[in-house]
Chain A
Amino acid sequence: MKKFSTVLMATAMLSGVLAGCGGGQEQSGGGTGASSAQTPAPAASSGSGSGGKVTVQFWHSLGGKNGEYIDAMIKRFNESQSKVEVVGTFQGSYDEMVTKLQQAVAAKSEPDVAMLERAYVQMFADSDVLEDLNPYMKKSGLSESDFTPGLMGHSTFNKKLVSLPFNRSTPILHINKTMLDEKGLAVPKTWDDLKKVANALVVKEGNEYKRYGLSMPYDTWYPIAMITEAKGKFFDDAGKSIGFAGGEGVKVFQFLKDMQSTGALYYPPAQDSGNIVNTMFTSGKIGMMFQSTGVIGSLSDNAKFEYVTAFMPMDQVYANPTGGANVAMMAGSKNKQAAWEFLNWAMTDSKGALQFVLDSGYLPFTKKMVESQQMKDLWAKQPARKVAYDQLQYAVDTNKHVNWTQVNQEFLKAIQAIMYDNKDIASTLDTFKKETERILKQ
């Protein structure tokens, strides 16, 4: 009896899928509903439509203040010309965006332009759903060399330039300078310095730590940064295994565990760790933290002490991954020319992404932005941001792989085992290595 109803159920579901796929082609416009009704034929791809404006759908993941800044940028574009109307829509977090985009591609209701967290770009590039921007760039007289090299690591796949940097960030060392000065300590440049300074900042009363030296959010980003500082690579060059089995991984985690045992490092609980460390930093419970450049703005607004930033301390070398998101044009877009007009404007116009970067505090990503007077003025006012940009010369992304998201989950598990459960470092990383090799083979 039960079996029969399961079969029935499965058939019903399957027919739903088939209906969804089969019908897609004959009325692909159906999915986009209202917007495609307004812009009838795909003739719009030749630029402006015969009548009114061409609508370009832009999906992004920016909420809160940054959401307001991106809305303002879109508004500036819409007011700057009369042919294209960009509609920006928030689609949840970076991860949620991936789900939404996958289902939209399947239903042929994808947007024209999408914001993609840089590590996800490869996955979409691999399924060939992102437009190659090279021809558009050439036509508009743009070239890859106009962009900051450290931020182009997730842009070209199979010789196709499929995304351009947009809201990009990188991990950096945030420092409560007042606290260091009280103890006569200098800003740490190496891991050894970092350990000494962090230990010197610890305040212990009885069995309780009242103040810690260093902290960082619960994320794979910071251990990855440290692995590259120790001259390791996250994935090996062949992309078949991890590239830090030669002792770099053990070194990183041993360093962190040593610091954790003396209160020099506070490792926060997983849930909402970013907010926790930010709050502890601004309220003087920790002296230094590894955190994204994305928080510089809010920290300088809320810190009641002298707040500075510095390069991520080096072990063998200075090195840091990058993060944040890129923008990409969808290959299924029916308004590619109009979409490019918007992207080109954003990349080059001073009212475009430059203003967005100035507002939000993300990294400037074209040489023109870096050289602009506005950027220079901002850096003079907030040197913390200049440090973030300067550090980009050491940017290196070694966690590139189509199956990165799965490996990321496994790495988080390894971090939990080591940082929370005090599991043996070498054997945990060994298990992680085996898991990674299995995933990379898929």
Chain B
Amino acid sequence: MKQVRRTLEFLLKAIVLLVFVFPFLWMISTSLQTLQETLRFPPTWIPASPQWMNFVTAMNAGPFLTYAKNSVIITFSIIVLQMIVMIPAAYSFAKYRFFGKEILFSMVLLAFMIPGQVTFIPVYLMLADWGLIKTLLPQIIPFMSNAFGIFLLRQYFMQIPQEIIESARLDNAGEFKIIRKIMIPMSMPALATIALFSFVSHWNDYFWPLVMTDSAGVRPLTMGIAMLRETEGISNWHVIMAGNVVLVVPILIVYVFASKQIVRAFVYSGIK
């Protein structure tokens, strides 16, 4: 009986895994095929000879070095700025009592619920008016605060016992020292989760860069890959997929490093 259950469990896991891994494998396989192989039906799985040149073709199709640099600067700045804004905000929402706290917090939740598609026109007009469209800032400034992050981190901070903070205060620790020495180290899993979500969503974002940028010099990788698609006719899927592999690799690397923390974040907040 136990054996049967185990086998079933294993099968189920294998199926779920396959569903998630399948598109990845297909992407990698396609990125190494020739155009003829991508057009074959039924699809080719193992390319006859791996076409590493596809990566070179993709990278030469535009100023990919600039795109990559922009992607890194944008995502990195967003994460750093978000941390600077988010941690003190979450701390005050979790541990202080002050006038208007409820209103302010409900505004944060509201911001969390409004999608970017609703606000992009006024935001664009404002930033254009400030003369920032030719810079990277329109892709960074609107994301300086992360409502979801503030919300998640506040929940996490609230679980940290008040006594620890009180005793730190007795030892003459200032508020920023408390944040630095107690709150941050104790909430690493939550911070890692937020940072990773933020990283993935901004690294992969296509809509926002599309509407906020007019010139190649300030565009991220996602725009470069969209450019590889044909307007009409047969798209060079092998080259597009090579571009996508390049786009996805950093996410996988970051995930490998952050995955432990993320699992912990979910386990801990689940127990409480």
Contact = CB atoms under 8 A, between A and B. Distances in A.
Chain A bound to chain B: yes
Interface of A: 1-2, 4-6, 8-9, 13, 16-17, 19-21, 23-24, 27, 30-35, 57, 59, 61-68, 87, 89-94, 96, 99-100, 103-104, 106-109, 111, 167, 169, 274-275, 278-280, 282-283, 285, 292, 294-295, 297-299, 302, 324, 361
13 contacts: A9-B110, A16-B126, A20-B122, A20-B129, A24-B129, A27-B131, A33-B135, A91-B214, A107-B129, A111-B214, A279-B234, A282-B39, A283-B41
A344 B108 CA distance: 53
Across the A-B interface, the 3 shortest Cβ-Cβ residue pairs: A20-B125, A294-B232, A33-B134
Interface string B216-234: 1000000100111111111
Interface core residue of A20, A34, A67, A94 (most chain B CB under 10 Å): A20
Contacts of A31: 128-129, 131, 133
B96 interface: no
A89 B236 CA distance: 20
B123 interface: yes
A1 B105 CA distance: 11
Interface core residue of B106, B111, B223, B234 (most chain A CB under 10 Å): B234
Contact of A6 (B61, B110, B134): B110
B231 A64 contact: yes
A275 B235 contact: yes
B135 A4 contact: no
Given A64-B231, A278-B39, A298-B234, 11 more contacts: A5-B103, A17-B121, A31-B133, A32-B133, A63-B231, A67-B231, A100-B211, A107-B124, A278-B234, A298-B230, A302-B35
Contacts of A280: 41
Contact of A20 (B110, B111, B126, B215): B126
Contacts of A16: 122-123, 125-126
B49 interface: no
Contact of A62 (B133, B231, B236): B231
Given A1-B103, A20-B129, A278-B234, A64 B110 contact: no
Contact of A285 (B41, B103, B124, B237): B41
A2 B235 CA distance: 49
B208 to A, nearest CB: 12
Given A4-B103, A96-B210, A13 B122 contact: yes
A99 B211 contact: yes
B130 A30 contact: yes
B167 interface: no
Nearest to A57: B214
Contacts of A24: 125, 129
Nearest to A21: B125
B107 interface: yes
Nearest to B129: A23
Interface residues of B, number: 47
Contacts of A107: 124-125, 128-129, 133
Contact of B107 (A5, A35, A61, A279): A5
A279 B39 contact: yes
B131 A1 contact: no
Contacts of A283: 39-41
B36 interface: yes
A88 to B, nearest CB: 9
A13 B135 CA distance: 22
A64 B229 contact: yes
A30 B128 contact: yes
Given A9-B107, A67-B227, A295 B122 contact: no
